[in-house]
Structure 1
Amino acid sequence: MKQKVIAFFPEAAYGPALNSVGIAQACEALGHKAVFLTDPGMSGVYSGYGFEEHMVNMSAPMPPEEMAKYWVDFINGHIPNFRKSPLEQIPNYVKECWAAIVETAKWAEKDLPSVLAKVQPDLICVDNVILFPAIKQYGKPWVRIISCSENEIEDPDIPPHLSGMSVHDKAGHAEFRRRFDEEVGPIHADFNEFLVAHGEQPYPLGTFFEASPFMNLLLYPDPVKFERRHALPPEQFHYLQGCVRADKPYDIPQFKANNDKPLLYVSFGSLGSGDVDLLKRLISAIGQLPYRALFNVGEHLEKYTELPDNVLVSNWYPQPSVIEKVDAVIHHGGNNSFTECLFFGKPAIVMSYVWDGHDNAMRAEESGHGFKLDRYEWNEADLAAKLEACLTDTAMQARLKETSAYMQSRKGPQDAAKILDGLLNHD
């Protein structure tokens, strides 16, 4: 039988990229060939895991080093906006982000038809927040992967995507939706013109992507998912219970101090590492506490010249392998960090700054799997109290243990691979 080809097309960010890697690894274990369509700025990420890469320009062509810095520079330029609430971020960060995302869709459409003709995939998996008409029109089944918070699929009873609001704040939900539509409306109108020009029907205001008629895979696990007014039909939507990839093993290094104390891992992701002042403040605070801590500081390693004896920094960690071995995590609410903590049963303090991090921070707290903490409005006593609670709250520990056992029994990547295999073999 001819080997089937599955093309994965994640957005140009490490969260979606590495989720797709986990699914692709499981697909290859079933005998299929997984390839990646990728923005040049992510070149090397997938080949590093042994996958074939095919470039799709998602902005004006530029040297690879400039491409790799595009989103880093975009995020770093918005650091002052990280101090604002999700509602206050709509007219600046959120609006500019959607404008940039629409432009990526327009650029991708120039390359996608020829890349698809070359790759000839039997199935396409898209992990993005926006529609690429060429994929929908290619003539093969396509699957939408939702690696951000599950409220990317709207429902009247749950908080709007990106809002970070409590499920109980109904007035807040309405205000967020109103402000979003008002600010992002012109960008949405421009996107609709693009859709019509490429043979698609315009979307309702606020919608930039549709559910796939074939299958939609959500990474959110059952223990934290929302109570919806309208249940998602299981024949079209499937919860993967996380999608933790296999990564390189990691041995815990020796510290100069506190080697018998609980171990923390602190990471704000590849983009959030630009907030150097915040990371230095956390290092100083944790340096005075009875813990050890591993800090992911991204490409800014040279800025951390003086460290307390109980802190080590690196520009990269094999995160799943690290989280499995630590006692608690401080992270930004990215979906990988969020689901990996749940998968390994680790309590987390979520200090969100943008996008779905706000939603995941609220879900961690409201579901009893961790705490949300304002990224800037905290003091050393706040941090110390929440870290102690992470390690001593017996109800939270029991809940995390149960969630971890459930997620690990479900094997998300293998679950996804079986679903994709079924689509490939369905005549």
Structure 2
Amino acid sequence: MSTQKVIAFFPEAAYGPALNSVGIAQACEALGHKVVFLTDPGMTGVYSGYGFEEHSVNMSAPMPPEDMARYWVDFINGHIPNFRKSPFEQLDNYVKDCWEAIVNTARWAQKELPAVLDKIKPDLICVDNVILFPAIKQYGKPWVRIISCSENEVAAPDIPPHLSGMSVDDKEGHARFRARFEEVIKPIHDDFNSFLVECGEQPYPLGTFFEASPYMNLLLYPDPVRFPRSKPLPPERFHYLQGCVRKDKPYEIPTFKANNDKPLLYVSFGSLGSGDVELLKRLIKVIGKLPYRALFNVGEYLDRYDALPDNVLIARWYPQPSVIAQVDAVIHHGGNNSFNECLFFGKPAIVMPYVWDGHDNAMRAQETGHGFKLDRYEWTEEELAGKIATCLSDEVMRAKLKATSASMQSRKGPQDAARILEGILKNAE
């Protein structure tokens, strides 16, 4: 384009959406545009670490930065007992509490967003969240919705409900889950609709917290795991990015005290799921007995681990795409970045979900033959060992993963997204 444009990204205050947006932002910057990030204060430093300008937007009552950074960590840790429950059982606790908090973030963001947008003067805004921020829709510039959660966040009557983790064939279960979700969510949704009306927007149907952008909606899900919709989403407004893996720092696999000639595993439950220390310790103990090596992401809880098996190494953080590219199999929580990165690099996964769309991604990995869904707690050592062995030896699964990886890498999701965003900017001139 003849002139540099300003593209603002506003991801949810979680590392999954944040790092997905970084991947697209890197590709936009490569086209010559200026990229800025709107960020919850608790995520300050994440985007500047990749070289991007940051602008804070309070998503809750102002508090010291260290308290803000811990808000969602404490929220998740407080719900660890609920991780043992089924997705249906989580509707009355985790899901309910989550939506209450999310609606609150939308109300708080509206206080500062108009002024922040006036300050940075974006030509295009990309929002990766599960809820509408009216100020973005009303700013007067094109806006794009990014769906970095499971594809069924864009609902349809013939696919499993978002957050349900159900098989595509469980139609009776779908109806039961939808009915209970709407029952639980109604008071929260009524409050959100009141907020929309206050902002001059039309109320949403029960259960809906966000609308499709009239400009473009970008979905991370790759074709091999897409849900079988009887009415496909219109391609002029919905585009599948086939994953969107960011460039991260290179990583050199360290030398282990044992098993350096054995297959390498990577285990991570994300920045929030690392609070489930007892589960990670159990996995370390079991994998310590097996003929493998393993890298464990334990987040900020490094001091909770003492003696480790000789074939296990732990760290607070890894440049995950650089690591997954080099391992033989992955155990993860079903977060959409981990889910897509495994597919992108053709790595079999054992998905042990605990909340949100991890349930849906785990089921899609299993139903499409790209890995296994495994209950987070109800497994035996023999069962885990058997699934790891299958991930490493099943030729049908590995052939499927190889084909999926080749397809995703050929599509170059971040560059694809950047070209689409540039097209929207050209049409807006």
Please give the TM-score of this superposition, normalised by the length of structure 1.
1.00
Q: Which residue is 2:102 aligned to?
A: 101
Q: Which residue is 1:302 aligned to?
A: 303
Q: Which residue is 2:60 aligned to?
A: 59
Amino acid at match of 1:193: S
- Distance of 2:16 and 2:291 partners within structure 1: 31
- Distance of 1:210 and 1:178 partners within structure 2: 21
Q: Does 1:28 align with 2:29?
A: yes
Q: Which residue is 2:232 aligned to?
A: 231
Secondary structure of the corresponding residue to residue 143 of structure 1? strand
Q: Does 1:291 align with 2:284?
A: no
- Distance of 2:53 and 2:174 partners within structure 1: 42
Q: Which residue is 1:251 aligned to?
A: 252
- Distance of 1:199 and 1:413 partners within structure 2: 34
Cα pair 1:156 1:229 within 8 Å, conserved: no
Cα pair 1:8 1:125 within 8 Å, conserved: yes
Shift of residue 5 of structure 1?
0.2
Q: Which residue is 2:183 aligned to?
A: 182
- Distance of 1:2 and 1:407 partners within structure 2: 31
Amino acid at match of 2:46: V
Secondary structure of the corresponding residue to residue 9 of structure 2? strand
Q: Which residue is 1:271 aligned to?
A: 272
Q: Which residue is 2:152 aligned to?
A: 151
Shift of residue 65 of structure 1?
0.5
Cα offsets for 1:368-395 (capped at 9, x unmatched): 0000000000010000000000000000
- Distance of 1:146 and 1:111 partners within structure 2: 24
Aligned length: 427
Amino acid at match of 1:147: S
- Distance of 2:125 and 2:109 partners within structure 1: 15
Amino acid at match of 1:265: Y
Alignment of 1:320-359 (within 5 A): 320-359=321-360
Amino acid at match of 2:344: F
- Distance of 2:75 and 2:231 partners within structure 1: 36
Amino acid at match of 1:302: D
- Distance of 2:102 and 2:157 partners within structure 1: 25
Amino acid at match of 2:143: W
Q: Which residue is 1:388 aligned to?
A: 389
- Distance of 1:17 and 1:63 partners within structure 2: 21
Cα pair 1:333 1:350 within 8 Å, conserved: yes
Secondary structure of the corresponding residue to residue 60 of structure 2? coil
Cα offsets for 1:303-361 (capped at 9, x unmatched): 11110000000000000000000000000000000000000000000000000000000
Q: Does 1:194 align with 2:226?
A: no
- Distance of 2:372 and 2:83 partners within structure 1: 18
Amino acid at match of 1:167: V
Cα offsets for 1:129-154 (capped at 9, x unmatched): 00000000000000000000000000
Q: Which residue is 2:402 aligned to?
A: 401
- Distance of 1:335 and 1:180 partners within structure 2: 22
Shift of residue 230 of structure 1?
1.6
Q: Which residue is 1:160 aligned to?
A: 161
Q: Which residue is 2:131 aligned to?
A: 130
Secondary structure of the corresponding residue to residue 254 of structure 1? coil
- Distance of 2:158 and 2:365 partners within structure 1: 18
Secondary structure of the corresponding residue to residue 262 of structure 2? coil
Secondary structure of the corresponding residue to residue 425 of structure 1? helix
In structure 2, list runs of 5 or more residues that go unmatched: none
Alignment of 1:416-427 (within 5 A): 416-426=417-427, 427=429
Instruction: Please identify runs of 4+ aligned residues in structure 1 that moved more than 4 A.
Output: none
Secondary structure of the corresponding residue to residue 358 of structure 2? helix
In structure 1, list runs of 5 or more residues that go unmatched: none
- Distance of 1:379 and 1:301 partners within structure 2: 25
Cα pair 1:267 1:273 within 8 Å, conserved: yes
Secondary structure of the corresponding residue to residue 206 of structure 1? coil
Amino acid at match of 1:370: G
Shift of residue 2 of structure 1?
3.3
Please give the TM-score of this superposition, normalised by the length of structure 2.
0.99
Cα pair 1:16 1:127 within 8 Å, conserved: yes
Q: Does 1:70 align with 2:71?
A: yes
Cα offsets for 1:73-110 (capped at 9, x unmatched): 00000000000000000000000000000000000000
